[in-house]
A and B are shown apart, each in its own frame.
Chain A
Amino acid sequence: MVTSTSRPAAPATAPARLLRRRRVTVGSAALYTVAALAALLWLVPLLWAFATSVKPEGETTVMPPAWLTPNATFEAYAQVLGRGDIIRWTMNSLITTTIVTALTLVVCVLAAYGFSRFDFRGRGWLFALVIGGILIPPQVLIVPQFVLMTQLGLVDTYWGVALPQVVAPVFVFILKRFFDAIPRDYEDAAKMDGAGPLLVLWSVILPLSRPILTAVGIFTFIGAWNNFLWPFIVVNDPEMMTLPVGLGTVLGQYGIQYAQVMASAVLGALPLLVVYLLFQRHIVTGVAGAGIKG
């Protein structure tokens, strides 16, 4: 709409152009107003959480609700951080998420490369088996998976949280298709220099695959960071909890201290919001890639 007003090419008669231009301007003003209001409305929950978190505890429950307080304070943040739980949960999330992301990338890249570049007995049905795994909703396997963890002794450990999350057949599929499309000519030179398959993968395939690796890495990271169900099942010890699980299950003890509850929410939101702002372009194009190609 906006762009059309500035486009000089429209071959309309002068009065008609004037007429249309005015209509569009009114229209675009309305459009921008609606868009800005919608965006503000969308921010209300986050703003309200922040507004509550900087109130003194006594003011949080005053009705009618006030957005601003003359007595703004970061007391609630000090309380929450002083308790230490959130910092510990954030560390746990960082540790488990790093394990998941690193292992997922390594394991899925190797598998995709194997499926893409080599023929071996059983390749066809093994690949079908992996792709079939996309259909299994892991949520329904929580009970036998937990039993397995008790048998392996991995309940309440970082490995117990991380390892089952590494199984991401969909990424093998995505990576394999990406590798398939890389012409073999690039590899031939390296092979003639006597490079083995690992070196070929490392020095030829991976550098060409940066965008897809970034996308897979970011989505694995966000997915693992925000995963709730599995860590909730496999971790009971509050000191081993990840951020979402800790915030969801242990916060009950703060009761009705809403400023502290909201301060916890804001602190819990921060890490990924920062990641989002840093990697905004990659995230947007990563999602976008899925859409355009779809």
Chain B
Amino acid sequence: MRDAPSPSYHAPPPAASAGPGRRAFVTGAVAAAGLAAVGCGPPDTLISGRTRLRQWNLFAGGDGLRMIEMHEAYKAEHPDIDFRATTFTWGAPFYTKVAMGAAGGRGADIATAHVSRLESLAPGRLLDPIDPAMLAEAGIDDTVVLPNIWEKCFFDGRLYAIPLDTHVLIQYYHLDVCRQAGLLDADDRLVEVSGTEEYFDMLREIKAVTGTYGLSIDTWNPWSNFWSLYRQQDGELVLGEDDYEMDDDKALAAMEVLYRLSEEGLAPRHSMLADTAANLANGQAGLMIHGNWEIPTLEATGVGFSATQFPAVFGNHRTRGDSHCYVFPHQRDRDPERTRAAVEYAAWMLRHSLTWAKGGHIPAYQPVVESPEYDELHPQSEYREAAENVQFEPQAWFSGSAGRLQEEATGALTTLHQGTQTPEQALAQLKATIRELLTVPSPV
């Protein structure tokens, strides 16, 4: 267990004599015995008379700050709750800790998750079900949440998640650049185009203005873009036990779009992390396809921008999306009082998700989306319909945000932007990846 080299293999009889001898030895033993009384569990739970509520989340950056802001308000309103939230590193490290904590049975009272990851969290074993009646008492049921998201929260007929938001890919536009290209209407809204050729023409007009690119797009996280384009054509991906179905022609058409974007110089060949937003902010591109969570980043740059739904490259605005939700990691001794506090906390967060919406996410709680305050939010209110056009990934233990499919498909799809593989080759690689994943025995 110890990694530090110990004075192994050689008995060290250090010279000299003094030092913590018997007394220290005894003191140590007594201390240990004393600790035995404290036993498990953090000491302060014994003292505090308030209801303990522990939340784990994966929100860093802007989302993290907004969640902290909401939590401060929540704590101020609930002095009887001993509430503490912890942020883990986004993605696999977070999900690993949630799963291990649930396996141990002493994890969080409530944790955030992507609804697309529900199956990978083994509902029923690593996740405890939520009582819909208790949630309804707290004011949340299927009448206040969009049905397409609400049904994603069920597994085997039981409720396992409370949806907080929908987040999707949207299209941002640089006001000055697009105005110069003559693509804005009188209200500074981007003109509507439909179909691949019309969209590419629009990008060419923008490129004529910027001199560099038309569109800024993240080439290192291409799965979501691919999924949006594939679903716009009604492409289906059916994942069975050890077989799958995919529409090759539609997948090729979607890949062709990604390939041509970079090949024709309308989008960069490499763009990752902060580059993508930077390319729009500095006017190298007039449009950007990215998650709605980039709004605060662009706001911070001070550039004039707005946003709209994902472009109708194949005639509609379907877009890849996911939903942040709350789940209840499994606990050995589930405490009814804490469970109720957790449900009420989640409901409170949903009711106050206007703050959350400032980060670009579309609240799942419809009264907020329909409120006049939300109308005031710009550009958030411009794309609220996107929540109805959201395209989730098919359920499998390896799908979903930060899941293995998304991670491993990147290898094939990135080559389209780099121009190192044709769509045919990339499709072959993607299909091999999916086949490979299907041969892996499901761990849940």
Contact = CB atoms under 8 A, between A and B. Distances in A.
A and B touch in the complex (CB under 8 A): yes
Interface of A: 88, 91, 95, 98-99, 101-103, 105-106, 134, 138-139, 146, 149-150, 153-159, 164-165, 167-168, 170-171, 173-174, 177-178, 206-207, 210-215, 217, 219, 222-224, 226-230, 233-234, 236-240, 249-250, 252-253, 255, 279, 281-282, 285-291, 293-294
B40 A157 contact: yes
A242 B20 CA distance: 25
Contact of B104 (A149, A170, A249): A149
B105 interface: yes
11 contacts: A102-B31, A139-B1, A146-B100, A165-B2, A217-B25, A223-B6, A249-B97, A250-B86, A255-B61, A281-B16, A288-B12
Contact of A138 (B1, B61, B100): B1
Given A150-B104, A155-B101, 18 more contacts: A102-B32, A156-B104, A157-B40, A174-B7, A210-B22, A214-B19, A223-B3, A223-B6, A224-B2, A234-B104, A236-B106, A239-B54, A249-B89, A249-B93, A253-B60, A253-B87, A289-B10, A294-B10
A285 B25 contact: no
Interface in B1-43: 1-4, 6-22, 24-25, 28-29, 31-32, 35, 38-43
A282 B14 contact: yes
A289 B9 contact: no
Given A250-B88, A285-B16, A286-B7, A213 B25 contact: yes
A276 B295 CA distance: 49
Contacts, number: 197
B12 A289 contact: yes
Contact of A240 (B38, B39, B42): B42
A95 B39 CA distance: 10
Contacts of A105: 25, 28
Contacts of A233: 100
B32 A99 contact: yes
A282 B12 CA distance: 11
Interface residues of B, number: 56
Given A206-B25, A289-B7, A157 B13 contact: no
B29 A239 contact: no
A201 B104 CA distance: 40
- Determine which residue in A146, A164, A288, A289 has the highest number of CB atoms from chain B within 10 A of its CB, and name it: A289
Given A214-B21, A219-B6, A102 B11 contact: no
A237 B18 CA distance: 40
B14 A95 contact: no
A139 B1 CA distance: 6
Report whether over half of chain B's contact residues are helix, strand or loop; otherwise say mixed: loop
Contacts of A155: 100-101, 103-106
A240 B100 CA distance: 14
Given A105-B28, A155-B106, A290 B100 contact: no
A207 B12 contact: no
Interface in B73-118: 84, 86-89, 93, 97-98, 100-101, 103-108
B3 to A, nearest CB: 7
A100 to B, nearest CB: 9
Contact of B84 (A217, A224, A239, A281): A239
A153 B28 contact: no
